[in-house]
Amino acid sequence: MFIMQKAKALLMHVIDLTRIFHTAMPVFPGDMPPAWRQVAFIEREGYNMSQLHTGMHVGTHIDAPLHMVAGGKPLSEIPVAHFIGPGCVIDAQGRNPIDEDLLEGTDIPAGAIVLIHTGWGGYFGTDIYYRDYPELTLAFAGRMIAAGVKIIGLDTPSPDRTPYLVHKALLSHSVLIMENLTNMQLVPMDKSFEIIALPAPFEADGAPLRVIARFS
């Protein structure tokens, strides 16, 4: 049995949906860029160690309810099973706004983690990425909530703009939000796959995370 399970695991394919975290990466306008410095050196202390100073909403990251909901849960209070689930891709390329009609005929299972592929990730690193990104409508968010979705993931910096009504609607119903994803075009739309999106359990309103799509 162990050998069979190991062989099956070796047949799994993995797509990394996470952007590389580095100090020159773009951040949402008004946010502080990340900074780190090396505080120990192997030539001097016998080991290397770095110190990181960053906001929690930089690069590929996830929003917890506390981000936009008064009294909302921090990441540390979200069960780890919430970050793993069956994946679903919505092709929203060329759409702005992204409305509920896009979901007609789409079967979204309860507990799904939904990736919304806008193609906007191609602008990452340019001014247009943060200036003109497409938004979700409240009706689209309502369909995600009604379907029992656990997390939505975007290749944009946000699902909406101030006053962030979509953020608040999703997070108040424990639908977490992943932003600044990449490589969505590599995720097969004709195969079943699983999303694993694990942040460290910070007692905070959000955090960088590693997101993968896994399929056989």
H/E stretch holding 72 reads none
Tell me what percent of the chain is helix, strand and coil, each rounded to the nearest 5.
25, 25, 50
Q: What are the residue ranges of helices labelled H in the chain? A: 2-10, 127-131, 138-147, 165-172
Predicted confidence (pLDDT) per residue in 144-155, tens digit: 999 999 999 999
pLDDT for the residue numbered 189: 87
- Which residues, 6+ apart, have CB-to-CB distance to 42 below 8 Å? 48
Predicted confidence (pLDDT) per residue in 173-208, tens digit: 999 999 999 999 999 988 999 999 999 999 999 999
pLDDT for the residue numbered 7: 45
> Which amino acid does the sequence have at 128?
I
**Residue 119: which CATH number?**
3.50.30.50
pLDDT for the residue numbered 22: 93
Q: Please state, in angstroms and rounded to a whole number, the distance separating the CA atoms of residues 175 and 23.
A: 29
The strand pair at 194-199 and 206-215 is best described as antiparallel
- Which residues, 6+ apart, have CB-to-CB distance to 64 below 8 Å? 72, 73, 74, 75, 78, 171, 176, 204, 205, 206, 207
Query: How high is the mean pLDDT in each 10-residue block of the chain (216 residues)?
Result: 50 92 93 95 98 96 98 98 98 98 94 98 96 98 98 98 98 98 94 97 98 95
Domain that includes residue 108, residue range: 2-215
- Which residues, 6+ apart, have CB-to-CB distance to 201 below 8 Å? 75, 76, 80
197 burial (CB, 10 Å; 0-12 / 13-18 / 19+) is: buried
What's the total number of domains in the chain? 1
Which two tokens mark 96? 């702005």
- Which residues, 6+ apart, have CB-to-CB distance to 16 below 8 Å? 183, 210, 211, 212
pLDDT for the residue numbered 2: 47
